[in-house]
Amino acid sequence: MKGVVAVAVAVAVGLAMLVLVEPGHATVTCQQAVSSLTPCLPYLTSGAETPSAACCSGVSGLKQLTQTTEDRRTACQCLKDAASQNQGIREDAAAGLPAACQVQINVPISRSVDCNQIE
């Protein structure tokens, strides 16, 4: 019986946390956004012809993390900042990464994008 009560309380707390997330506030973190594309670094820096399966899985994961405008803007700014710190990232490879992985995402990967314009 105690186990059932503990599970019920855990579910109730989890649901309450979902309700408490305010609209207009991003839930994706920079660590999530950047780490989702970490497997793509060899493709982004080396000029490889195609990204790895792990890289494309990360791009798909990023798509799942960025369902709202605020999440997309947050992820965009995080990726922009990370790319600015790594000058070895090729701009053309970054911009073409979603297409190379055949994943349509609404988060541009670029050092020069204005992330506040993302819808």
Average pLDDT over the chain reads 82
CA–CA separation, 9 and 69 (whole Å): 32
Residue 9: the pLDDT is: 31
pLDDT tens-digit series, residues 10-67: 333 333 333 333 445 679 999 999 999 999 999 999 878 899 999 999 999 999 999 9
User: 58: Cβ–Cβ under 8 A, 6 or more apart, which residues?
Assistant: 35, 36, 37, 38, 39, 40
CA–CA separation, 75 and 106 (whole Å): 10
Residue 47: the pLDDT is: 74
Band the pLDDT of 99: cuts 50, 70, 90.
very high
